[in-house]
Amino acid sequence: MKIPGILINMIDSLFKHRINEVFDKYLNDYGRFINHELILGSDPKVVMEFELAGEEEKIIVELSEIEIIKEAGEYFLNVGKIEINKEWMQKLGQDFLDGKYSHLSENRIKLPHQSGILLSKVF
């Protein structure tokens, strides 16, 4: 299915907005969000770049095996695979996806209703 350019732009904008919200909530004191790339196709993924205090290299985070789940009228973003260019961060990210920290929060991100509808058309 060919995805219209305007839909890709809207999805890209939604991802950037949501990434900024999450970064501002949890990591703003530690660095800054630089950029992201949304790669659509048979294996959609999101690649993000961050600068973190004390780190000389940019942190590159790649999220893949992405799915949008609808439960009880609410939409959630679920990530199945994470790759991070720092070994200790990779371990932390994988532990999170594996549910090691599920007592802290869910392993998925709740999406605004309209965003969930739009993203479910692509993922």
CB burial of residue 94 (10 Å; 0-12, 13-18, 19+): middle
Dihedrals phi, psi of 113, to nearest 5 degrees: -55, -50
HSE toward the beta carbon, residue 93, CA cutoff 13 A: 18
| Residue 45: pLDDT over 80 | yes
pLDDT more than 70, % of the chain: 92
Residue of 88, 99, 92, 17 lying closest to 54 (CA atoms): 88
Query: For the whole model, what pTM was predicted?
Result: 0.79
HSE toward the beta carbon, residue 76, CA cutoff 13 A: 12
Separation between Cα atoms, residue 63 and residue 113, nearest integer Å: 22
pLDDT more than 90, % of the chain: 31
Domain ranges of the chain: 5-120
Q: Can you tell me the mean pLDDT for 89-112?
A: 80
Length of the chain: 123
Largest CA distance in the chain: 44
| Residue 2: pLDDT over 70 | no
pLDDT value at residue 8: 73
DSSP state of 14: H
